[in-house]
Structure 1
Amino acid sequence: MMAIDNTPMLVPHLVVDDAAAALDFYTRAFGAEEMVRMPGPDGKLIHASMRINGAMVFLNDDFPEFNDGKASTPTALGGASVTIHLHGPDVDGRFQRALDAGATVVNALEDQFWGDRYGVVRDPFGHQWSLAETVREVDMNEVLAQMSDGG
C-alpha cells in the first residue's frame, strides 16, 4: 500500500504516442530518472512519472477514447501550446545531448541580451523544450532598454 502524500505540487503532464519510447528519449536527452511506469491491458502506458532537473513530470500514451474521441498529442493538435524550460549549467552540453538523442532545433542556442545562453528544441513527440544557462549578470534596466529597441 502506498502512503498518502498530499504535498502541494505543479506537475507538467505530457501526452505522447509511444510513451515507453518517450521515457527512453527523455532519459537520453535530459537525464530523466524514471519513477513509475504503469502499463494498461493493451501495453500502452496509462501513467508514468519521471524527474528531470529535480522536477516531477507525468507522461502517458494518448487515449482518445477517454478524451471525447480526440487525440491530444502535440502532433495531433498541430503543435504544443507550452514550452518546458530547463535551466542549469552546461547548456551547450545539454543542448547537444538532446540533439544527439533525436531532438530537432527550433531556435539555435545563442547568448541572449537578458544574460542567458538560450535555445529551444522539439522532441520527437512534438513537445518543445527551452534550455538555458545564465552566463552574465544583466541589469533589468538594460534588459528593458534592449526590449524597447527591438532586442
Structure 2
Amino acid sequence: MAINIEPAVIPHLVVGDAAAAIDFYIKAFGAEEVGRVPRPDGKLVNAAVRINGFMVMLNDDFPETCGGKSMTPTSLGGTPVTVHLTVTDVDAKFQQAVDAGATVVVPLEDQFWGDRYGVVEDPFGHRWSLGQPVREVSPAEIQAFMSGTGG
C-alpha cells in the first residue's frame, strides 16, 4: 500500500503552553483540533489544528533541544513571521480573535491594495494578519500609491 503524500507548506509554531494555544486558536480562529502527542509530563511534542481549512502544527517549548534556548516569540523578543488568513467576513473574524484575547497590532482598515486588513498578536507572541479582498486594484494603482502620486 502506497502512502499518499500531498506537497504542502505548514506553519509550525513553538508556544509556551501548547494546550492553551490550541484552546485559544479554537476560540479565536474557529480552529479544529486535528491531534496532539503529549509526553508523560503533559507537554506537547507535536499537535495540529486546522485553521481556515489549512493545517497549523505547534508544540510546547523545549529549550533542552535547542541548546538551552527558549524558542517562543516571547523569549526571543518578538517574531519576524506573520501567519496570514484570507477570510470572507474579516470584521467578524478579527473581532472574534480580539474577543478571545488577541492584541490588536494593526487596526482593521481598508487598505490601498484592495483588502480590508488588520493584524493581531496571540497571547503566545505569534502574529496573525486577517484580510478580505473588498475591491480590485490594478498594479498601476498600487505603484502610484507607493510612489506618492496616488491615494
> Per-residue deviation at 1:131?
0.4
Report the counterpart of residue 79 of structure 1 in structure 2: 78
Report the counterpart of residue 119 of structure 2 in structure 1: 120
> Per-residue deviation at 1:139?
1.3
Report the counterpart of residue 135 of structure 1 in structure 2: 134
TM-score, normalised via structure 2 length: 0.95
Distance 1:135 1:6 in 2: 35
Distance 2:130 2:28 in 1: 12
Aligned residue for 1:143, secondary structure, equals helix
Superposition pairs of residues 8-27 of structure 1, within 5 angstroms: 8-27=7-26
Q: State the AA in 2 paired with 1:134.
A: P
CA-to-partner distance for each residue in 1:73-105, whole Å, 9 max, x for gaps?
000000011000000211000000000000000
Tell me the C-alpha RMSD between the 2 structures. 1.3
TM-score, normalised via structure 1 length: 0.95
Give the unaligned 5+ runs of structure 2.
Answer: none
> Per-residue deviation at 1:5?
4.0
Identity %: 66
Give the unaligned 5+ runs of structure 1.
Answer: none
Report the counterpart of residue 99 of structure 1 in structure 2: 98
Distance 2:76 2:27 in 1: 26
Q: State the AA in 2 paired with 1:147.
A: M
CA-to-partner distance for each residue in 1:122-141, whole Å, 9 max, x for gaps?
00000000000001111110
Aligned residue for 2:24, secondary structure, equals helix
Report the counterpart of residue 90 of structure 1 in structure 2: 89
